[in-house]
Amino acid sequence: MRNEDKPMIRMKVKGVYGTDSRDFIVVLQDYGNTRYLPIVIGMMEAQSIYMALENITPPRPLTHDLLRNVIENMNGKVMKISIDELKEDIYYAKISLETPFGGIEVDSRPSDAIALALRTDASIWVAEELTREIPEIPEGEGGD
């Protein structure tokens, strides 16, 4: 199946979380709160995503700020990012750009694509086959 033929789900960043093993995980969740996708990411990307989520502006541009500035100064626009493939436990993403020369897609790590999407208000799309259903918690469980 070609990537553009895969059913895609629009998602948002639920959060960035640290683990006991010093890894970081970004969790994407659909707008209906029924599906999610956790992705292990590096510390620098976790920090960049967290800063964008919290609207923290660094005194000097981080790499993802720099990339956004370059795209915008060249009259380009990030249209969307898509996470559409998993090979050997590695997720693959694409950044879709609109430029004065037409549309282009650029391969990316998902964490970099997400950090850029947050800075440009671009939509985040994930192949449905990569997502997981959020289990329903039976009534009376879960605590308050």
Question: Would residue 141 count as lying in a domain?
Answer: no
In a domain, 140, yes or no: no
d(CA 123, CA 114): 9
Query: How many structural domains are present in the chain?
Result: 1
Closest CA to 49 of 91, 14, 90, 23: 14
Residue 24: domain span: 3-133
Q: In this structure, what CATH number is given to the domain that contains residue 98?
A: 3.10.690.10
Query: In the chain, what is the straight-line distance between the N-terminal and C-terminal CA atoms, in Å?
Result: 45
Higher pLDDT, 19 or 122: 122
pLDDT tens digits for range 57-104: 999 999 999 999 999 999 999 999 999 999 999 999 999 999 999 999
Mean pLDDT (whole number) for 106-130? 97
| 138 domain residue, yes or no | no
Is 110 a domain residue?
yes
Q: What pLDDT score was predicted for residue 3?
A: 55
Describe the chain by its helix, strand, coil percentages, rounded to 5.
Answer: 25, 40, 30
Better-predicted residue by pLDDT, 141 or 7: 7
Asked if the structure places residue 144 within a domain, the reply is no
In a domain, 143, yes or no: no
